[in-house]
Structure 1
Amino acid sequence: MALISKETVDQIINAADIAEVVGDYVTLKKKGQNLWAPCPFHNEKSPSFSVAPAKGIYKCFGCGKAGNSVQFIMDLEGVSYVEALKHLAKKYGIEIAEEAPSPEKLKFQHDRDSQFILSDFAKDFYQNILHNHDQGQSIGLPYLKERGISLNTIKKFELGYSLESWDGLTKAALEKGFQEKFLEATGLTIFKEEGKKYDRFRARVMFPIHNVSGRTIGFGARTLKTNDKSTPKYLNSPESEIYHKSDVLYGMFQAKQAIRMADVCYMTEGYLDVISLHQGGIENVVASSGTSLTENQIKLISRYTKNITVLYDGDAAGIKASLRGTDLILEAGLNVDVVIFPPGEDPDSYIRKVGDNAFREYIKSEAKDFVSFKTELLAKEAKDNPVKKAEAIREVVQSIAKIPDSIKRSVFLQRCSSLFGIDEQVLISEYNKIALQENKKQQNQQQPSRPNSGGRSNFPPLDEFDMAALEAEAEAAAYEDAEEEIDSEVQLLHRYEREILRLLLNYSDQTLPEGQNLAQYLFEQLEDIEFKTPGLAKLYAVISEKVQQGRFDIATYFIREETDTVLKSEAIDLLTQKYELSEAWAAHQIFVPKEVELLQYAADTSILRLKWRNVQAMIKENQDALQKETNIDEMMKLLQVAKALKNFEMEIAGALGIVVTR
């Protein structure tokens, strides 16, 4: 893929005024120095979405989304960095200057582009057949109208019809100059060894499949022949360079904005389910197109919402088969609800039967969280059969074990206990067994890199584990208590490290009264201090590197150039503030010093607080060492260190005005 030159990227970012870019999507109102609006990424009544024109950034204090103009387009449109740049370049009339790629990359991009162009040609070809050809007008259109699909909806989803002839599309594409290799690569044409070639899709209603940017990447096709049992009802494009069915959800391009605004995604099975619901005004809906749900499809949904409601038809066998894939949603940390339609109904047929309003009410009244639904379903099937009941309980607990959030796990275990009428402690014991098995499995996979892989299991690490329920619970409780204690210890350190970084990001190039700039002064005073919070330590290291290179426009670097999205998000979070002093204070002759006027005090105070916290940590380490030490000479040395550290702690505490140290 050709690269956009740095000069062009800079030109785009300079031109892309954050207020104008965001203003295309939401109505901004000025309050203080910043602009505010209801967040476009989640539903809210009180505006918590702030735009800082002077810094060129946005930040939602509700959902946490933050970034510059490019990131805003990426977040809102669900596109890549390059696609966002091209979007802004088009808006501001900037010609994209791309650096020449290698011959290999050039060929790869050329082949992909050719497949996109051919797919788009096929989409237009099928649309033209539907609306203007005898076969489309006599077969395709009547079927769609019979299914209650309006002409506007047909055009919105770019539906079409394929000719019954063997090579209608192939012949038209070759006449237009498209190469055979791309007809084969996209799967539009099937080539036989003896040189024969024919259209993959013939005499079918065509459903173009789009990526999130709206480009046609493949097709789903439905036959209208009911008397030919050898012909599959639905036929899809094969995997290609541009179409990977495990990464795509039908209707996501049309639904993404509605999903974000509703903060829930309805998941269905078929193309017509999506289309009928859209026509009924329910646009936050996508389809898996009959395939099992994949991790990449879940990640795609999670760009826009953390809530999924799966809409099942009344086929019990189909529901049970789908339950296995839905565990992936739980494992990804998303919330899953389930709605079952009456026997013989699916979302398409039901909305046509009862209408839009009744359909919405049905979803609202019938939605159940996935774990409760699965528990009720399996409990009903097991009835009084103890063996089936035991299997059902184990299966439900396995689903609950997928949930990364410990509080949610606990709530669902209680719910499962109530529905099955079984002691909650037994379920906890079963969960711990599953956790142990999973941890052992992960540890075996990590060999020989044990003991620390740098990651974290979905399950609490239960080191000394006994299969008895009470001992298992004790181990789990001990782990949770230790984790809470660690959290309380690091809380202050995290706060003080963040404050240093906030000052660096906002005022790194400001000159202090003594003539030094703030960044140089802070790094000089903190030369012997090591940041201990992992994410903040990395951010501190990057800032240090830039300052050593003589670069002090730290905020600009992170807003415009940093490519690590986690670091960028953390930096922008530190660059934004939720509250401002009211302008009315000045009108009433109430003047409050601005932070920039008190930078020396802010810097010194922040340095002392961080050092104070680090000294306290050193005192604790020294005390722990003393308790373990048995050698008298070593104990005396540790006591001398303890005295020196305590004196230093009191000295810092005095400077900070702290009477009683913690």
Structure 2
Amino acid sequence: MALIPKETVDQIMHAADIVEVVGDYVQLKRKGQNLWAPCPFHNEKSPSFSVTPSKGFFKCFGCGKSGDSVRFIMEIEGSSYPEALKHLARKYGIEIKEEEKTPQQQLEQNERDSQFIVSDWAKNHYHQRLLNTEEGMGIGYGYLKERGLNLSTIQIFELGYSLDAWDDLLKAATAAGYQQKYLEKTGLVVKREDDQGHDTGRRYDRFRGRVMFPIHNISGRVVGFGARTLKRDDKMAKYLNSPESDIYHKSDVLYGLFQARQAIRTEEVCYLVEGYLDVLSLYQGGIKNVVASSGTSLTEGQIRLIKRYSDNVTVLYDGDAAGIKASLRGTDLLLEGGLNVRVVLFPDGDDPDSYIRKVGDKRFSDYIENQSQDFITFKTTLVAREASGDPVKKAEAIRDVLHSIAKVPDAIKRQVFLQQTAQVFGIDEQVLITEYNKVVQSKPAPRPEQGNAARPQGQGQQSGRPAAQPPRPMSAEDEELALMYGADPSELQSAPAGQTDEDFGEFDVVPDVLQTCEREVLRLLVLYAAREISEEVSVAAYLVGQYGETPFETPLYAEVWTMCYQELMAGRFPEVRNLVQTDRSEVRTLITDLATERYELSPNWRTKEIYVFNEVDLPQQACDNAILRLNKCQVQRKLDKVMDRLRQPGLDEAEMFGLLGEVKTLKQLDNELGAMLGTVIGRGS
């Protein structure tokens, strides 16, 4: 893919007004300095979606999504970063001159573009044949109407009809000036070969006498077709799909996702069905967050597509036992992909399309709401029923369920599922956990970020540390030394036997108080970097001068501080609109959190002459308070570690003297910082 020059990206970013960009999709209302609206990414009644014009970013306090104009287009349209930039370039009339491609890259791009163009033309051709020909109206439209579809649904999904003729599309495309090779590459036209596989020179339409279902990619471009015959011929496939091509990869496409993507975000769940008509009937019935795997086995690429829009998926199974068993593996893949999976099973002989036409939209919606159950419970009940009375089948069924449970990322859910499975199969829970651990151990080791999440805490399991034992009393000599140095002997009880330095090592998690203090310093840096504290001294220079390059223990805060530090060292003030241009969602969310005020001070307070400290007018006071609080917290943290060391047994007298000296120095510094803050928090005094 050719790169968009940085100068052009900068031009797009400068032109893209966040209010105008977001305003194309939601109705914003001003309240204070920000603009607000119900979030377009999840369903809510009270607006929690905020746009800050001065800093050029959006932030939802409900679902947490945030970013700049480009990120908004990426989220709302489901597009890539280059696609979002091109979208904004078109909106603001900016010409994108992509960096020069190699001849091979240019050829490949031309080939793909030509296939997109001819596919779009074919879609329009089939659509016109459906609505503007006697055969199309009588057969194609008649069939769709019989299946309960109205004209609006037909037009939204751009349905069509291929005439029952050998070369209707081929002749029309040739007359319109389209090259035959692109008709062949997209599978619209097939070349005839003889028995030896030699090209006879003859060509014919792949789709003839069929209702046409255009398949769109996530950007709305047609990449292929599904086609249903209306003839009663056992020798002819009922459904025929486009073959794989440069633009169509079945494993990376879900039918209906282009039309459903916004509803999936809003409803926070994706309904997964099997066929085209299932999607169409449910969409028309008001359930717009529905997609289909188009009769193929679910793939990892399709699962990643769903996850871009929601972590929740409900699979709607036909009431067909054989079909359900064939679909279980695909549902396991959904679990493995980190999705929350639920299942709805329809009565025997019904599928989503037939059932909604049978009972109507309201009763159908009520049915899927009331009959929805989590996948593990569904699968456990299903396989337990099939294995009833057969010990060998029962053992196989249990292992099958355990393999599915092992794919659930959430440890608490896994524990609940293990308990439920034990009850359904009538097996001791501890035995089941033991077998589960065997299943987990037989799998490849988890990635580092997963840690030990795959292993549930079963009954009788112990944590890594030894059980707590009562502390041993200090000697009289140790107590005397402690008092001499101002330490409280009760705080320095010797550690229980068996505990080592590891047990009193580094904190596993940065304490909440320290995080709060670090966050406040970082907030002032992000929010007021360029504001002057005094002549020629900015907030950024003041804070960086105090702390240097790496002042924080919280990794995410340290990462953002480093970004700001690097900007300052490059001669630029760190600006929010630049900092949020990152692929790291955690960083983007933190920056927008720091730079966004959820609530604003009412102007009535000013008219009533009620004084409220304003950090905007007194930036040095705000910085000094934040610095002192962080310093005090860091001193207290060091003091805690020294005290932990003093509690350990076996210290010699020199080491004891040294540590008690540290305690005295740190307590004195702690009290001084407390006094400077106007507080009295002397620890141990």
Same fold by TM-score greater than 0.5:
yes
Q: Does 1:226 align with 2:226?
A: no
The answer on 1:256 being equivalent to 2:261 is yes
Corresponding position: 1:582 with 2:602: yes
Q: How does 1:488-527 map to 2 (within 5 A)?
A: 489-513=510-534, 515-527=536-548
Give the stretch that moved more between structures: 299-308 or 8-17. 8-17
* CA deviation after TM superposition for structure 1 residue 44, in Å: 1.7
Using the alignment, how far apart are the partners of 1:138 and 1:130 within structure 2?
9
Shift of residue 628 of structure 1? 8.4
Q: 1:412 aligns with which of 394, 417, 425?
A: 417
Aligned residue for 2:394, secondary structure, equals helix
Find the residue that maps to 2:442 and give its secondary structure: helix
1:33 aligns with 2:37: no
Deviation (angstroms), 1:287:
0.4
Could you say which residue in structure 2 is the equivalent of 1:336?
341
Q: Is the 8 A contact 2:270 2:291 kept in 1?
A: yes
Q: Which amino acid aligns with 1:347?
A: P
Letter in 1 for 2:621: Y
Residues 1:198 and 2:204 are matched in the alignment: yes
How far did 1:382 drift?
A: 2.2
**What's the offset of the Cα at 1:528?**
7.1
Task: Give 1:654 shift.
Answer: 4.2
Q: 1:497 to 1:242 in 2, by over 3 A?
A: farther
Equivalent position amino acid for 2:373 in 1: K
Report the counterpart of residue 445 of structure 2 in structure 1: 442
Partner of 1:455: 449
Q: Which residue of 2 aligns with 1:99?
A: 98
Post-superposition offset of 1:486: 5.6
How many equivalent residue pairs? 638
Q: Pairwise mapping of residues 103-252 of structure 1 onto structure 2 (< 5 A)?
A: 103=102, 104-191=104-191, 192=193, 194-196=198-200, 197-229=203-235, 231-252=236-257
CA offsets 1:19-51 (integer angstroms, 9 cap, x no match): 333233333233222222221211122221112
In the alignment, structure 1 segments of 5+ residues that lack a partner are 444-452
Distance in 1 between residues matched to 2:516 and 2:459, nearest whole Å: 38
Comparing 5-14 with 156-165, greater Cα deviation is found at 5-14
- Residue 53 of structure 2 is matched in structure 1 by 53
CA contact (8 A) 1:59 1:66 kept: yes
Q: Partner of 1:593 in structure 2?
A: 613
Output the CA distance in 2 between the equivalents of 1:136 and 1:155: 14
Which residue is equivalent to 1:69? 69
Q: 2:350 aligns with which of 345, 356, 360?
A: 345
Contact 2:544 2:565 in 1 (8 A): yes
Q: CA deviation at 1:288?
A: 0.7
- Asked whether the 8 Å contact 1:19–1:53 carries over to 2, the reply is yes
Where 2:315 maps in the other structure, the secondary structure is strand
Give the conservation status (yes or no) of the 8 Å contact 1:401–1:459.
no
Structure 1 residues 556 and 281: alpha-carbon distance in aligned structure 2, compared to 1, 3 A threshold: closer
Amino acid at match of 1:243: Y
Match for 1:537 among 529, 549, 558? 558
Distance 1:402 1:628, change over 3 A: farther
Residue 62 and residue 394 in structure 1: after superposition, are their counterparts in 2 closer, same or farther (change >3 A)? same
The structure 2 residue matched to 1:313, chosen from 313, 318, 342, is 318
Distance 2:436 2:282 in 1: 39
Q: Are 1:118 and 1:178, in contact at CA under 8 Å, matched by a contact in 2?
A: yes
Equivalent position of 1:610 in the other structure: 630
1:619-642, Cα deviation, whole Å (9 max, x unpaired) = 455566674887776676566555
Q: Supply the distance in 1 between the matched residues of 2:394 and 2:565 (Cα, whole angstroms).
A: 60
Distance 2:254 2:382 in 1: 27
1:659 alignment counterpart: 681
- Give the TM-score taking structure 2 as reference length: 0.85
Q: Answer 1 or 2: which has greater helix percent.
A: 1
Query: Which residue of the other structure, out of 390, 396, 403, is the alignment partner of 2:401?
Result: 396
8 Å Cα contact 1:126-1:206 kept in structure 2: yes
User: Does the CA-based 8 Å contact 1:43-1:261 persist in structure 2?
Assistant: yes
Deviations 1:271-302 (A, max 9, x none): 01111112222211110111222232222222
* 1:357 corresponds to which of 347, 350, 362: 362
> Counterpart amino acid of 1:492?
V
Q: What does residue 446 of structure 1 align with?
A: none
- d(CA) in 1 for partners of 2:8 and 2:590? 26
Taking structure 1 as reference, are residues 80 and 494 closer, same or farther at Cα in structure 2, changes over 3 Å only?
same
Deviates further, 311-320 or 32-41: 32-41
Q: CA deviation at 1:122?
A: 1.5
Cα distance in 2 for partners of 1:319, 1:628 equals 63
Look up the match of 1:450. Answer: none
Inter-CA distance 107–370: structure 2 relative to 1 (3 Å threshold): same
- Helix, strand or coil: the match of 2:271? strand
Query: Within the alignment, does 1:567 sit opposite 2:587 as a pair?
Result: yes
SS in structure 2 of the partner of residue 313 of structure 1: strand
Give the gaps of 5 or more residues in structure 2.
Answer: 468-502
Q: TM-score, normalised by structure 1?
A: 0.88
Residue 384, structure 1, aligned to residue 393, structure 2:
no
Amino acid at match of 2:547: L
Q: Which amino acid aligns with 1:185?
A: K
Partners in 2 of 1:17 and 1:528 — Cα distance?
33
Q: 2:437 aligns with which of 425, 432, 441?
A: 432
Is this contact kept in 2: 1:187–1:200, CA < 8 A? yes
Q: Deviations over 1:410-436 (max 9, x none)?
A: 333333334334343333333333333
